[in-house]
Structure 1
Amino acid sequence: MLNHRTTISRIASLIGNETSARKHLSKCLYSVMIGSNDYINNYYLPQNYNSSSKYTPDQYAAALIQQYLDQLMTLYNYGARKLVLFGLGPLGCIPTEISMFPTPTCVDSINDAVQLFNDRLKQLVEDLNTRLSQAKLIYINVSSIQFGAPASIGLQIFNQPCCQVSSTTGLCIPGQKPCITRALNLFWDDFHPCETLNLYTAARAYKKLLPWDAYPTDISHLVLES
């Protein structure tokens, strides 16, 4: 958020003043997706953090949403009026989480915890649309879009990274060749999905295929609203 404040100052210097900058920003589309690392690198990393013993999954989701609200209100006060909030994907299906549990498939307990966050995020969108008459927010149901997508879009390798990953970071080791089946792999490394899935998710976020892909509308309709 500090970097965004710097950006606003630069815009203000370019177009005249901060009032003009805020007016300009009110016409911009803000895309926000935060929360994944709070689960992957905090709640489900008990050897480094005590959050999973301190909070139940529902309490943790509530705490994250409160912090999310604080950040959104800062953006709103800076001039943001059109915001797209992306829910979290099925984090229990990423290779690093599967490797920590005795299961060859998705970890249901993690996906259930993430769904608590997503449900609260959707409710936050509804609440802020009522509370902030000048703002328009939408929620993108990433988990629902992605959960059944891989097989339908031609992906075949779901729980193995495409590149050789570091045992300490889970990221691709620099200089190593990626897999030759990268058009079939769901994940590049232990965390990040491939371009195919990202493009598919973006397409359904822009123009929803199913009614529950986006709420209350999709990006294509949000950008047309005055």
Structure 2
Amino acid sequence: MKFTALAAMMAAVTVLGLLIDGHDCKIVQFIFGDSLSDVGNNKRLSRSLAQASLPWYGIDMGNGLPNGRFTNGRTVADIIGDNMGLPRPPAVLDPSLTEDMILEKGVNYASGGGGILNETGGYFIQKLSLYRQIDLFQGTQTLIKSKIGANAAEKFFQDARYVVALGSNDFINNYLMPLYRDSWSYNDQTFIEYLMGTLERQLKSIVRSFLTRVLRAFEQLLHSLGARQLIVFGLGPMGCIPLQRVLSTSNGCQERSNKLALSFNKAGNKLMEDLSSKLPNATYRFGDAYDVVNDVITNPIQYGFTNADSPCCSFGIIRPALTCVPASVLCSDRSKYFFWDEYHPSDSANELIAKELIKKFGLSRVDETDGPSPAPAFAPSPEG
């Protein structure tokens, strides 16, 4: 659960429509990430403490009931996919998931509390780390190979585009917490190097002290699994999320956390450039929305928000409440609040972030095939 995923927001794979052994394969998404992209995986983790299964999560989407998303409406991945004409992929732990659904819609592996590192978010009891998400992706590959054959499946996955949104939990729910060994085993620079190194290894399979090691692991893993066109989303100013503010003495942004996000983004961008230059037939890009999110938080009125420092869903004066619960009080106009709860952006904030990333990457709609486009979220109601 975390905000840094804001920019560090979200993993999505788009598979270009093509005919594979008689299967009309549509453009789909495979999403890797944390609570900013989770659409229901943690709902199936019965012992997980990172949950969005209670009202008022999902109030402004579909039937208004909790759907596994850690916000009041859509995720950034939802909005980007909708704008590109892509179907919304189901959670990998959805018991109704089939091979045909994967070919039709793709898969979402994101899990609240998950991080690049296995040890991140351990106190949530259950969550899917990026390593575990990639293990599940390997299982998906096995299913598709059985369905359409090895050669067709290889082309199917190599033609896919992958988007990954992770990283904030590795700081907020790991490095910045003294109960974790990583908090005293590394300094700011070496932790980032550790992350980058891990991520690089992971990417090659589907930073040079702590942060470098993380990114390198990620690279190796995804590339060996067939990922060729991939977008990694950077982190936003995670020191400005309500949880970080309320834990500070001044109720202001925690600058150390923001500096870590900037360092992560710089290292992540360099890693993607390096990978694209040395991995065959690979295009890896890094999406950084830090500046626009920081500007919104600094000048919310200019962007149509009235509040960018506290959660819309809160438990009165009891802060931090951490999650939104049925007894929580909602703000009067959800569309005017940048943050939904102590960690996560609102639907309106996610839309702003998604549009910035769409513009930055020059993303456009894909050619639509048969079937309707996914229904948009309902507009946030001004009623609490």
TM-score range for the pair, normalised by the shorter chain length: 0.7 to 0.9
Post-superposition offset of 1:158: 1.6
- In 1, Cα distance between equivalents of 2:326 and 2:204: 39
2:278 paired residue number: 131
Superposed CA offset, 1:140-193 (max 9, x none): 112123111352321121221111358687111146453222111111111001
For 1:197, give the aligned amino acid: A
1:72 paired residue number: 203
Superposed CA offset, 1:96-135 (max 9, x none): 1111211222111110112111110010011001111310
- In 1, Cα distance between equivalents of 2:263 and 2:228: 26
1:3-152 counterparts in 2 under 5 A?
Answer: 3-17=136-150, 19-46=151-178, 48-75=179-206, 76-150=223-297, 151=300, 152=302
2:311 paired residue number: 161
- Poorly superposed stretches of 4+, deviation over 6 Å: 166-169
Superposed CA offset, 1:52-92 (max 9, x none): 22211111110011111111111111111100010111100
1:215 paired residue number: none
- Contact 1:57/1:116 (8 A) holds in 2: no
- In 2, Cα distance between equivalents of 1:175 and 1:31: 36
- In 2, Cα distance between equivalents of 1:194 and 1:40: 19
Secondary structure in 1 aligned to 2:313? coil
Superposed CA offset, 1:190-225 (max 9, x none): 1001111211111121222xxxxxxxxx1528x89x
Consecutive unaligned residues of structure 1, counting only runs of 5 or more, are 209-217
- Contact 1:22/1:78 (8 A) holds in 2: no
For 1:134, give the aligned amino acid: N
Q: 1:26 to 1:169 in 2, by over 3 A?
A: farther
What CA RMSD, in Å, does the superposition of the two structures yield over aligned residues? 2.1
Consecutive unaligned residues of structure 2, counting only runs of 5 or more, are 1-133, 207-222, 368-384
Secondary structure in 2 aligned to 1:32? strand
- In 2, Cα distance between equivalents of 1:37 and 1:163: 21
1:220 and 2:372 are equivalent in the alignment: no
- In 2, Cα distance between equivalents of 1:4 and 1:96: 32
Q: 1:177 to 1:96 in 2, by over 3 A?
A: closer
- In 1, Cα distance between equivalents of 2:278 and 2:140: 27
- In 2, Cα distance between equivalents of 1:95 and 1:107: 10
For 1:102, give the aligned amino acid: T
For 1:45, give the aligned amino acid: M
Q: 1:123 to 1:179 in 2, by over 3 A?
A: same
For 2:152, give the aligned amino acid: S
Q: 1:145 to 1:25 in 2, by over 3 A?
A: farther
Secondary structure in 2 aligned to 1:204? helix
- In 2, Cα distance between equivalents of 1:49 and 1:104: 25
- Contact 2:243/2:320 (8 A) holds in 1: no
- In 2, Cα distance between equivalents of 1:206 and 1:60: 30
- In 1, Cα distance between equivalents of 2:308 and 2:194: 31
- In 1, Cα distance between equivalents of 2:281 and 2:321: 43
For 1:188, give the aligned amino acid: W
Secondary structure in 1 aligned to 2:338? strand
What TM-score, normalized to structure 2?
Answer: 0.52
Secondary structure in 2 aligned to 1:4? helix
Q: 1:114 to 1:173 in 2, by over 3 A?
A: same
2:49 paired residue number: none
Which has a greater percent of helix? Answer: 1
Q: Indicate the larger mover: 193-202 or 120-129.
A: 193-202
For 2:193, give the aligned amino acid: A
- Contact 1:84/1:138 (8 A) holds in 2: yes
Identical aligned residues as a percent:
31
Superposed CA offset, 1:7-26 (max 9, x none): 11122122122x32121112
Secondary structure in 2 aligned to 1:24? helix
User: How many equivalent residue pairs?
Assistant: 212
Post-superposition offset of 1:50: 3.1
- In 1, Cα distance between equivalents of 2:308 and 2:289: 17
